[in-house]
Amino acid sequence: MKNTPLTEKHIALGARMAEFAGYNMPISYAGIKEEHHQVRNKVGVFDVSHMGEFIVRGKEALQLVQKITSNDASKLHIGDAQYSCFPNSRGGIVDDCLAYRLPQDMCAEGEQAFMLVVNASNIDKDWEWANRHNAFDTRLINISDQTALLAVQGPQAIEAMQPLTDVNLEGLKYYTFTKGTFAGIDNVLISATGYTGAGGFELYVNTDKAAALWDSIFEAGAAYDIQPIGLGARDTLRLEMGYCLYGNDIDDDTSPIEAGLGWITKTKKGDFISRDTFVRQREEGVSRKLVGFILPEERRVPRHGYPIEDAEGNEIGQVTSGTLSPSLEYPIGMGYVQHAFAAPGSLVYIVVGKKRLEAEVVKPPFFKAS
């Protein structure tokens, strides 16, 4: 089991640690509910250094990114980030990812550079997939082991952290990034992508700077009661926003069209892996769709893999993610259902043991911050 550069920090803080994607990661400190509300209402810090980072650099870097990702990377200007996915050859999803268009000082004249950020559990798989399809004048560089990543999230994140940098954090638009000095550390990549819906930003640094950065963040944030946050609350926060989690809501057997990710599947950009499949799915429709659902009268939590039925007891799908929403105080979830039951307002039934719990299909996000 691997450690992040901050594992010893988490253990010293009394975190409940567990294996996640091959890493020894903090699941919670004070408790998932408390940490969830901390991020929704104040500010918290996640160690997500287990994520993977690949540099794509060369004269045909854009061509490779366009070939292996579903979104249109040609629309990215330097300083832009983009949510995308790697389609596989049968229309499923190898992984979802972020694509960053990097500054010219990171490549030679006539070249372009991108950074692809991938899920920890898929680093090896994604690396092999990207290299397999690299028939271009382009280099792939895996910097995952040299890169630490901290996410400072919450409505007070900018105010609490602004004294640590000359970068105007408030001026950093959603899905953009910049490089600058942060907490006295040069060349920190500061981005605003988020996975919580609570605002904030992410900090990419070399692993040997991670501990110093962590300490500086907590020193500067002390007046704001900044707290460390584990992966348990990260999951409840992302689910309240309806964000997909790879391995639960999307995987090698789910199409981005089925998963409601048609907006990152740009079939008009030109050729890319499984483009023809996605064109056909758009023309003919898909038989199932990923939907959100709520159970406002229940307390039992729908779990991954639970069957979903119609009123007559016919199985029409399966739950992919579920939790008791700390913000709403009732269960919410996502799952794939037959297309006929995917419209908001449809009633479906979650099978929990011998019970059938009535749920209403809704369009995420489940929670909207004020």
- Specify whether 37 is located in the same domain as 182: yes
CB 81 within 8 A of CB 278: no
126-163 pLDDT, tens digit per residue, is 999 999 999 999 999 999 999 999 999 999 999 999 99
Q: How many CB atoms lie within 10 A of CB 315?
A: 13
**Considering the domain boundaries, does residue 227 fall inside one?**
yes
| Domain end among 240, 270, 297 | 240
CA angle 319/320/323 to nearest 5° reads 85
For the cut 80, the answer to whether the pLDDT of residue 214 exceeds it is yes
| Distance, CA of 192 to CA of 237 (rounded, Å) | 16
- The rounded distance, in Å, linking the Cα atoms of 266 and 354 is 43
Choosing from 240, 272, 302, the residue where a domain stops is: 240
**Mean pLDDT for the chain overall:** 97
pLDDT at 70: 98
Q: Are 225 and 310 in a shared domain?
A: no
Same domain, 150 and 42: yes
Report the distance separating Cα 201 and Cα 37, nearest Å.
18
Same domain, 307 and 188: no
pLDDT digits (tens, 9 = 90+) for 74-120: 999 999 999 999 999 999 999 999 999 999 887 788 899 999 999 99
Instruction: Give Rg (Cα) of the chain.
Output: 21
| Domain boundaries, position 315 | 288-362
Q: Based on the structure, what is the number of domains in the chain?
A: 2
**Per-residue model confidence (pLDDT) at position 219:** 98
Q: Is residue 198 part of a domain?
A: yes
pLDDT number for residue 370: 59
Residue that finishes a domain, picked among 211, 240, 269: 240
Q: Checking DSSP bridges between strand 185-191 and strand 177-182, what pairing results, if any?
A: antiparallel
pLDDT digits (tens, 9 = 90+) for 293-331: 999 999 999 999 999 999 999 999 999 999 999 999 999
Same-domain status, 298 and 212: no
132 located within any domain: no
Summarised one tens digit per residue, pLDDT across range 3-23 is 999 999 999 999 999 999 999
Q: Against a cut of 0.75, is the pTM above it?
A: yes
